[in-house]
Structure 1
């Protein structure tokens, strides 16, 4: 993907099958973090303040990812596994066949915000 400067452009450039998921995830993050700014950091869209990214999201060739603080992932490891999703130290991957729930998005975003102290 070319270097993009806003969320709309990022979603439009993502693989077509992931655009609805990314649009939904963006809305869920905006609802969970209503006072956070939309930003692009490390070539992915996210929400945060200044240079502090609370949560970011991305699309790849076979899946999407939600990226938050590592303490947030650790706090919800069991819930992520119970949903059949894969977690890394700072992210959760999902697909149209196995989407991430709005409830889990909110929990992860709020825990990541708390972790950053913003």
Structure 2
């Protein structure tokens, strides 16, 4: 598998329909975590602070995912459910029909940062 060098390359290689969603997600995470470094780790774009990945995202064939510290998802379980989304232990999957609201993305990113202690 070829390594993805940066977020731009990752988004450009994602299914076309998901690209605007991923660009918006990236922008929201960048605003919420302004001092984070954009990285690609485990073939997924992410935001790292002091050596810790605080948030990451990915595109798949039929859905996208936002990945965070588990505590952030637990802390915001009600908001996630209210948005019509389902969370796993470390992430939330979403589709074009049910994207994650920007405000919730920002809250989750900040909660993930707190949970990571950075």
What 5-or-longer segments of structure 1 have no aligned partner?
Answer: none
Aligned to 1:70: 70
Residues 22 and 16 (structure 1), Cα distance of their counterparts in 2 relative to 1, 3 Å cut:
same
Aligned to 1:115: 115
Is 2:99 the partner of 1:85? no
Aligned to 2:49: 49
Aligned to 2:37: 37
Is 2:98 the partner of 1:101? no
**Alignment root-mean-square deviation, CA:** 1.1
Output the TM-score relative to the length of structure 1.
Answer: 0.96
In 2: Cα distance, 1:2 partner to 1:52 partner: 23
Number of aligned positions between the proteins: 118
Aligned to 1:8: 8
Output the TM-score relative to the length of structure 2.
Answer: 0.96
What 5-or-longer segments of structure 2 have no aligned partner?
Answer: none
